[in-house]
Amino acid sequence: MMGETSELDAGFAATSRMADELRQPFQLWEVRAAQAAVALFQGRLPEAEELIDEAFALGERAKPENANSSYQLQRYLLRDFRGGLEEIEPAICDVIATHPHRPAFRCALIHLQAQLGRTADARAALDELTRDDCSALPFDQEWLYGMSLLAETSGLLRDTRSATVLHRMLVPWADLNAADWPEGFRGSVARYLGIVATTTERWSAAEEHFEAALVMNARMGARPWLAHTQRDYAGMLLARARPLDRERAGDLLDSALAAYEALGMETHVASAPASTRT
């Protein structure tokens, strides 16, 4: 959550060694699932896919309910990066039914629905989950993860009511990384603040948030989330349309598109704003 990712390699080396020595499925699962989450976070997608499957095979023997929920959310993120979200929807619905006390899974479902164009379902659920200052989401280790999904959904739906609520709720946590161990990491919270500030046309606040997110995601080596930040920031600049905004947006889009292609995230190339180059 603090975004101090520079120590991950050393930590994984130590925990992997201990897990291999113990040879207990639970510890082996926990290490592999965490390694899968970090590989996703850093954009090492082929390696992440292998680790996701390896972790699930270990977790099924040790703690199947926890292993399955982590497995499905990691697969969801992988599909979000690579395409094929419709394939994962039934599994996400099953996880929600199995874990009704964990609303972060519902946040993933409405994020999926918004991306697939089922806006009426997504809007109804977004309204429910952001009512009364998002009281439906317990303030636990999954809170930032779930809130990041709600913020992105709010931007996709251009829902100003929920965006206002989410901005107010997330501002105190702007310097953190939206993390839920080992389900996954979704990058700088400042990016989500930039998205909801853009939705309500608070241009100066959005600019400040996106600039902070660029710095943090770059520092953490969160390549997919850095590319997403560049794309979203470019979209904000094009909507604001002040002098020099178009040129800055073009530079950001060039960087985002290059990263998407390098990471194998081709589906996001098509979702980027239209080219600003003349």
Please give the residue that has the higher pLDDT: either 251 or 20: 251
User: What pLDDT sits at residue 252?
Assistant: 97
**By three-state DSSP, how is residue 186 classified?**
strand
| Domains of the chain with bracketed CATH | 5-271 (1.25.40.10)
**By three-state DSSP, how is residue 43 classified?**
coil
186-237 pLDDT, tens digit per residue, is 999 999 999 999 999 999 999 999 999 999 999 999 999 999 999 999 999 9
- CB distance 71 to 55 below 8 Å: yes
- Entry pTM: 0.93
Shortest CA distance to 60 belongs to which of 77, 21, 75, 52? 52
Predicted confidence (pLDDT) at residue 275 exceeds the cutoff of 70: no
What's the rounded mean pLDDT across residues 85-91?
90
148-176 pLDDT, tens digit per residue, is 999 999 999 999 999 999 999 999 999 99
User: What pLDDT sits at residue 17?
Assistant: 77
